[in-house]
Amino acid sequence: MPQITDQMGRLVEITQNPQRIVSLVPSQTELLYYLGLENRVVGITRFCVHPPSWRLNKKNIGGTKKIDFNKIAALKPDLIIGNKEENNKKEIELLMSHYPVWMSDIDTLEQALQMIESISNITHAQEKGKTLIKKIKKEFEQLNFPSVKGKKVAYFIWKEPYMVVGKNCFITDILHQIGLKNVFENFENSASGTRYPTISKDDLGQANPELIFLSTEPYPFNEKHITIFKEICPQSEVKIVDGEMFGWYGSRLAFLVSYLKTIFK
In tens, the pLDDT along 12-55 reads: 999 889 999 999 999 999 999 999 999 999 999 999 999 999 99
Mean pLDDT of the residues in the chain: 95
The mean per-residue pLDDT over the stretch 174-188 comes to 95
pLDDT at 125 over 70: yes
The mean per-residue pLDDT over the stretch 89-117 comes to 98
Q: What is the pLDDT of residue 206?
A: 95
CA dist 47 and 27 (Å) reads 10
Q: Which residue has the higher pLDDT, 2 or 102?
A: 102
The mean per-residue pLDDT over the stretch 88-111 comes to 97
What DSSP string describes the chain? Answer: --EEE-TTS-EEE--SS--SEEE--HHHHHHHHHTT-TTTEEEE-TT--SSTTHHHHSEE-B-SSSB-HHHHHHH--SEEEEETTTS-HHHHHHHHTTS-EEEE--SSHHHHHHHHHHHHHHTT-HHHHHHHHHHHHHHHHT---TTTTT-EEEEEEETTTEEE--TT-HHHHHHHHHT-EETTTT---TTTTTTS-EE-HHHHHHH--SEEEEESSSS---GGGHHHHHHH-TTSEEEEE-HHHHH--SGGGGGHHHHHHHH--
Span 195-209, pLDDT tens digits: 999 999 999 999 999
Q: What is the pLDDT of residue 188?
A: 78
Domain boundaries, the chain: 3-140, 152-263
Q: Give percent of the chain above pLDDT 70.
A: 98
pLDDT at 118 over 60: yes
CATH 3.30.365.10 for domain 3-140, yes or no, is no
Q: Which residues pair with 62 in a beta bridge?
A: 67
Q: What is the pLDDT of residue 15?
A: 86
CA dist 230 and 232 (Å) reads 5
Q: What is the pLDDT of residue 265?
A: 73
Domains 3-140 and 152-263 share a fold: yes
The mean per-residue pLDDT over the stretch 215-221 comes to 97
The mean per-residue pLDDT over the stretch 73-83 comes to 98
Q: What is the pLDDT of residue 250?
A: 96
Q: Could you tell me the fold of the domain covering 152-263?
A: Rossmann fold (3.40.50)
